[in-house]
């Protein structure tokens, strides 16, 4: 077995509960009898580049990154939280809304996360032609919502999890015009090519957390109800959505 194995986790998740991911890493080390190093990254780009340029065995990745890791490094998805999906809400300020004519500025964290292309699928549903749209990239999902509140954008693409975390006061100022609900995208655990012979073992350990009391406690701490098995085909809907940008 390798003496230098590595775990990477999407910064959006480590920002919510860094300790919980260190605990999960310790659990995986014990269950896999492997020394696994875990060093969190501060940004999506930093984390993504570290995996693309490095030698990682396990990642918990957002949909965009998971597809990039699969396409460019040969990672294979093995498990996901059964109750969590990445969705996008299109929001406006209740007192302003979208202008009837002219340019429409839409705030979005970045076009390098699936929240953005999911948001673009919502535009036809509200009768907004994309030729009228100019995107204002804010760097984070929260700042996209704040741009709408401040009047820096007419509308915003807001990550569903970010929306759930907004205060009642903030939500009261915003109106949801449309939202994706198709379960196209999700964060998932993936295994790198150097562990190709251990994919079934890693999947078994992760799914086994559902019934192991210690594993169950870790999942609860991370906000996961259960983990379910997935495979490469599970990423096909998201791959289709991102087909134009994955080659960039």
pLDDT (0 to 100) of residue 6: 96
Same domain, 232 and 205: yes
Mean pLDDT over residues 156-162, rounded?
95
In a domain, 75, yes or no: yes
Mean pLDDT over residues 118-123, rounded?
95
Give φ, ψ of 199 to 5 degrees: -55, -50
Given 179, 201, 216, the domain boundary residue is 179
| Better-scored residue on pLDDT, 4 or 147 | 147
108 confidence band (pLDDT: 50, 70, 90): very high
Mean pLDDT over residues 191-220, rounded?
97
pLDDT (0 to 100) of residue 1: 44
**Domain ranges, residue 142:** 88-179
Mean pLDDT over residues 199-224, rounded?
97
pLDDT (0 to 100) of residue 246: 67
pLDDT (0 to 100) of residue 60: 97
In a domain, 164, yes or no: yes
Mean pLDDT over residues 47-76, rounded?
95
Same domain, 144 and 114: yes
182 confidence band (pLDDT: 50, 70, 90): confident
Same domain, 110 and 189: no
Mean pLDDT over residues 96-125, rounded?
94
| Better-scored residue on pLDDT, 44 or 188 | 188
Q: Which CA distances in Å does 13 have to 8, 90, 213, 220, 247?
A: 11, 22, 22, 14, 26
Same domain, 96 and 48: no
39 pLDDT exceeds 50?
A: yes
57 pLDDT exceeds 90?
A: yes
pLDDT (0 to 100) of residue 248: 55
174 confidence band (pLDDT: 50, 70, 90): very high
Minimum mean pLDDT range among 9-18, 23-32, 235-244: 235-244
In a domain, 247, yes or no: no
Same domain, 50 and 117: no
Q: Which CA distances in Å does 32 have to 113, 172, 206, 214, 236?
A: 31, 47, 10, 15, 29
Mean pLDDT over residues 147-163, rounded?
96
pLDDT (0 to 100) of residue 232: 93
Chain segment 67-102, per-residue pLDDT in tens:
999 999 999 999 999 989 999 999 999 999 999 999
Query: Do 71 and 49 form a contact (C-beta atoms < 8 A)?
Result: no
Mean pLDDT over residues 131-145, rounded?
95
42 confidence band (pLDDT: 50, 70, 90): confident
In a domain, 35, yes or no: yes
CATH number at residue 138: 3.40.190.10
pLDDT (0 to 100) of residue 2: 47
Total number of domains in the chain = 2
156 pLDDT exceeds 60?
A: yes
pLDDT (0 to 100) of residue 119: 96
Same domain, 100 and 149: yes
Sole residue written with tokens 């701490």: 221
Each residue of 80-119: b (16+ CB within 10 Å) or e?
A: bbeebbbbbbbbbbeeeebeeeeebbbbbbbbbbbbbbbb
């Amino acid at each position: 077995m390798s003496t230098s194995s590595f775990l990477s986790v999407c910064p959006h998740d480590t920002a919510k509960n860094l300790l919980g991911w260190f605990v999960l890493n310790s659990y995986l080390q014990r269950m896999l009898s492997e020394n696994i190093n875990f060093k969190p990254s501060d940004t999506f780009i930093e984390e993504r580049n570290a995996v693309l340029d490095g030698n990682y065995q396990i990642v918990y990745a957002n949909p965009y990154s998971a597809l990039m890791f699969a396409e460019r490094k040969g990672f294979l998805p093995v498990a996901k939280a059964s109750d969590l999906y990445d969705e996008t809400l299109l929001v406006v300020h209740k007192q302003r809304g979208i202008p009837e004519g002219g340019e429409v500025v839409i705030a979005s964290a970045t076009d390098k996360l699936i929240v953005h292309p999911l948001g673009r699928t919502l535009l036809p549903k509200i009768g907004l032609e994309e030729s009228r749209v100019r995107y204002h990239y804010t760097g984070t999902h929260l700042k996209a919502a704040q741009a709408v509140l401040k009047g820096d954008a007419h509308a915003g693409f807001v990550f569903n999890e970010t929306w759930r975390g907004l205060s009642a006061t903030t939500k009261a100022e915003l109106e949801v015009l449309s939202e994706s609900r198709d379960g196209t995208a999700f964060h998932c655990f993936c295994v790198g090519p150097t562990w190709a012979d251990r994919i079934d073992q890693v999947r078994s350990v992760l799914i086994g957390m559902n019934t192991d009391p210690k594993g169950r406690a870790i999942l609860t701490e991370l906000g996961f109800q259960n983990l379910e098995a997935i495979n490469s085909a599970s990423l096909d809907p998201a791959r289709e959505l991102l087909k134009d940008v994955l080659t960039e």
